[in-house]
Amino acid sequence: MRVAIIGAGHAGGTAAFLLRHHGFEGKIALIGEEPLAPYQRPPLSKAYLQGAMTRDNLKLKPESFYQAQNIDFMPGQKAVRLHRGKRSIEMEDGSEIAYDALILATGCRPRRLHLPGADLPHVHMLRDYRDADRLRPALSGLVIIGGGYVGLEVAASAGGAIVLEREERPLARVASPELSRFFADYHRAKGVEIRTNMSVREIAPDGVVTADGKIPCTAVLVSVGAEPNLELAREAGLACADGVVVDHAARTSDSAIFAIGDVTWRPLGRRMVRLESVPNALEQAKQAVAAILGRPPPPPEVPWFWSDQFDLKLQIAGLTWDADRTLTRGSPDAGKFAIFHLQGNRVLAVEAVNSPAEFMAGKKLIELGSIVDPERLRDPAISMKEVTAS
């Protein structure tokens, strides 16, 4: 049995480790376009960008691990085509790699802005460690286009920047209005200038041109979201939406091909979604490996995410879509609070700032679908242990 994995990122690397961990003795080819062994991307906008972490420390495992585990790790090599009929991968150098099971873990790339000046040399994007290496010396005098998580994290790492957001609030697509307000206020107090409802028209060598005039700067980071690397799947005729369509076992429309991580369009409850997070990459790696090895499927996990900005640790679990109300426990003024999203008296999601106990207990409540007493949940004098026990 030969398993090939295209994409040696967080999802692909984890799938390779898990296959061996569960005793798989066949061949594993781990194909990665980047020169580095699978590594974590979250520090690229945080500790690594700040220079507080080395490149070696980013790696999930040292190179020697792959050799020791008999994983054929192929760095710096790009897969260019799938031949599903003969179950083979065509590589950029013309060689072919045969598989019995294939895992697509090709991740995402930053969304580009189609504006005049978007290709100028002082315009940055942030997806891999080389992007972070180029961005680090440009952090002072930076304008960031896009007030999502990555944009705000870079602003915090830079210790100040101008953030231009198209919507009326930062984190508009990914956080509740109350949480957005808190982060906007916190950033402003720390010297980050957040300008909302901004329409960028052009990037000039000396600034960003908006509908309201030119904002001078020496460097620009475009951080307006990510797009899945779908080309291989699409050209091979696999079902795709805003990602490669997979089921709960991470299986694509071809039963020999799985897809995991940022590149997938996956089921979650009654919906299909694309989740860009490390926990999602790990969950789907477990699903694919279980299906390939004929093991019992792993239990479904509550989706979660984290972000570090200044001295704030944000942890989010669950999905807010079907919630009909929110309640806040703790104090935003003290920088320590949690916003719970409820449907009736059932917790669907929690956004926790510097509140790990609320996050952990909230995640458990979501998982169990428990009914809570909202008044007790709101009261920080009652511990989360007591709230979950009642």
Residues of this chain that bind ligand FAD (CB under 6 A): 6-12, 31-34, 41-42, 44-45, 78-79, 105-108, 126-127, 150, 229, 232, 261-263, 276-279, 281, 305-307
Q: Which amino acid is at 312?
A: L
CB-nearest residue to ligand FAD = 9
Nearest CB to ligand FAD, comparing residues 305 and 340:
305
Min. distance of Cβ 114 from ligand FAD in angstroms?
21
Nearest CB to ligand FAD, comparing residues 128 and 377:
128
- Under 8 Å between Cβ of 250 and 287: yes
Min. distance of Cβ 226 from ligand FAD in angstroms?
7
Q: Using DSSP bridges, classify how beta strands 264-268 and 312-318 pair: parallel, antiparallel or unpaired.
A: unpaired
**Furthest-apart CA atoms within the chain: distance in Å:** 65
Nearest CB to ligand FAD, comparing residues 266 and 329:
266
Q: What angle do CA 267, 174, 124 make, to 5 degrees?
A: 105
Nearest CB to ligand FAD, comparing residues 163 and 263:
263
- Under 8 Å between Cβ of 243 and 256: no
Min. distance of Cβ 223 from ligand FAD in angstroms?
8
- In order of 40, 89, 188, 243, 248, the CA distances from 288 in angstroms are 20, 19, 43, 16, 9
Nearest CB to ligand FAD, comparing residues 78 and 166:
78
- Under 8 Å between Cβ of 253 and 149: no
Min. distance of Cβ 54 from ligand FAD in angstroms?
17
Would you call 150 helix, strand, or coil by DSSP?
helix
Cβ-proximal residues to 71 (8 Å cutoff; 6+ apart), any chain: 16, 20, 28, 30, 65
- Helix (H), strand (E) at residue 337: strand 336-343
Min. distance of Cβ 126 from ligand FAD in angstroms?
5
- Under 8 Å between Cβ of 219 and 145: no
Min. distance of Cβ 43 from ligand FAD in angstroms?
8
Min. distance of Cβ 372 from ligand FAD in angstroms?
26
Q: Which amino acid is at 90?
A: E
- Under 8 Å between Cβ of 105 and 264: no
Nearest CB to ligand FAD, comparing residues 6 and 215:
6
Nearest CB to ligand FAD, comparing residues 31 and 164:
31
DSSP code at position 206? T
Nearest CB to ligand FAD, comparing residues 108 and 365:
108
The CB density around residue 243, as the number of other CB atoms within 10 Å, is 24
Min. distance of Cβ 190 from ligand FAD in angstroms?
19
Q: Using DSSP bridges, classify how beta strands 101-104 and 2-6 pair: parallel, antiparallel or unpaired.
A: parallel
